[in-house]
Amino acid sequence: MEITDVRAVPLSATIPEEHQFRSDFGARVKNDATLIYVDTDAGITGIGTSLGTPSVVKAIVEDSLRSALVGEDPTYVERLWSKLYNGSRTEPALERGYTQPRYDRRGITFEAISGIDIALWDILGKHLEQPIYKLLGAARDSVQAYGSGGWAPGEEAGPQLQGYVDEHGFDAVKMRVVGEDDFGIEHTVSRVESARETLGDDIDIMVDAHGSLDVTTAIRLANRLEEYDIGWFEEPVTPDDHAALAEVRASTEIPIATGESEFTRFDYRSLLEHDATDILQPDVARAGGFTEIRRVAAMGSARGVQTIPHAWGSAVLLAASIHLAMALPNCHILEVPQAPYMPMLWDFFEEDFEIDDGRVVAPSRPGLGFTVQDDVEERFAFTEGPEYVY
């Protein structure tokens, strides 16, 4: 079996004004995604997805990475990952047993590599007639899920989160520190208090600051939130500053979570060496696909750190994240987005995601286990412009 083509398709879903929500990023006006196809001469096509600006991802995939893959055996996933990462130095890298990456193998290029890796694993699973999570080792066949959203202002925060619980049976939810009515420590504390009073003591609550706070404010807020039994405080400060994350972590009893903005295993090693986090949150469409995140999770496990994938995005991203959650022994819960309008998540595949009593059930079909609807490229034709308007 040989690869015959690699294609990237930019997609967009415009959000109607009545369904737009506001956070520290501004108002969400559309959702973008890039769908990646890897075709083979055996009639098997793998699908993947990448984060990053879709038009740029398309150019990188088709103009830079495609030529390294055409004619190759797609079942040699590790070799192809090395070829994409190391470029012309792949052979000496594999012969000597250490990486020799091209100078540009970060950022959007690494996101493009991530999407291709997802597609290669999809091909391997289809070829062997096994779901990806079983090829990765299969730690479980269902996993606890948490509803991820929580932008509602003031006393509306609790009822909004309760709605997630009522609809899907979640016993854990995540809310944003900066809601639709902006940020203030006292205001945020009152929103969390509303959530705890509404949900009671049996529902776990996590909070996410999107890296929007300074160290002093993050510590003050964390100390105020400790009495509400918070499951984790996500990205309290900029994720680029591992020392600052470590400072916040050392100042609170609330576990710290971060990692959705990191790329290679070396970024995650830095987080661990700084004692900056209790939970790693790699995104399979950014951090190197299944191939690299297995290595990230193993490093975390050696330090007693959980790996819980970031899963906010398209249906392909959630599908890949489900397989990770089923395969990684140090993952006990999975993010399920709860934005009011996400058709590229809920109306993208022929099949439905199975969420039963607050747990996501593993797909049983080969590969990713999902079939892209025939009309997605027409329904979600790419449109230029930002996803957020501040």
Same-domain pairing of 109 and 203: no
| Separation CA 134–CA 369 (nearest Å) | 12
Domain contains 370: no
Spell out a b/e string for 114-147, using b for 16 or more CB atoms within 10 Å of the CB, else e: bbbbbbbbbbbbbbeebbbbbbbeeebebbbbbb
Same-domain pairing of 206 and 273: yes
Nearest to 281 by CA among 244, 345, 331, 231: 331
Per the listing, tokens 């250490």 go with 98
Give pLDDT tens digits for 121-157.
999 999 999 999 999 999 999 999 999 999 888 889 9
Nearest to 283 by CA among 50, 33, 26, 16: 50
The catalytic residues are: 310
> 182 versus 296: which is more confidently predicted?
296
User: Are the CB atoms for 39 and 1 separated by under 8 Å?
Assistant: no
Which of 1-10, 235-244, 336-345 has the weakest average pLDDT? 336-345
pLDDT for 23 equals 76
Looking at the predicted structure, is the pLDDT value of residue 35 above 90?
Answer: yes
Looking at the predicted structure, is the pLDDT value of residue 118 above 90?
Answer: yes
Same-domain pairing of 141 and 183: yes
Same-domain pairing of 288 and 221: yes
Same-domain pairing of 115 and 241: no
Looking at the predicted structure, is the pLDDT value of residue 107 above 80?
Answer: yes
Give pLDDT tens digits for 60-90.
999 999 999 999 999 999 999 999 988 777 7
Domain contains 367: no
Domain contains 369: no
User: Are the CB atoms for 263 and 106 separated by under 8 Å?
Assistant: yes
Query: In Å, what is the CA distance from 280 to each residue of 74, 168, 309?
Result: 29, 25, 8
pLDDT band at 9 (very low <50, low <70, confident <90, very high): very high
Number of separate domains in the chain: 2
Domain contains 111: yes
| Separation CA 101–CA 145 (nearest Å) | 36
Domain contains 353: yes
Domain contains 390: no
Give pLDDT tens digits for 174-213.
999 887 776 789 989 999 999 999 999 999 999 999 999 9
At residue 341, what are phi and psi to the nearest 5 degrees? -145, 100
Q: Can you give the pTM of this predicted structure?
A: 0.95
Same-domain pairing of 353 and 380: no
Looking at the predicted structure, is the pLDDT value of residue 171 above 80?
Answer: yes
CATH value at residue 85? 3.30.390.10
Same-domain pairing of 75 and 141: no
User: Are the CB atoms for 140 and 120 separated by under 8 Å?
Assistant: no
Same-domain pairing of 101 and 212: no
pLDDT for 86 equals 82
Domain contains 23: yes
Same-domain pairing of 333 and 381: no
CATH value at residue 294? 3.20.20.120
- Residue 141 is part of which domain span? 135-361
Provide mean pLDDT across the span 111-115.
Answer: 98
Which residue pairs, CB below 8 angstroms and at least 24 apart, start in 385-390?
385/29, 385/30, 386/29, 387/28, 387/29, 387/30, 387/31, 387/32, 388/25, 388/26, 388/27, 388/28, 388/29, 389/26, 389/27, 389/29, 390/25, 390/26, 390/27
Same-domain pairing of 85 and 27: yes
Domain contains 306: yes
Same-domain pairing of 24 and 85: yes
Same-domain pairing of 243 and 295: yes
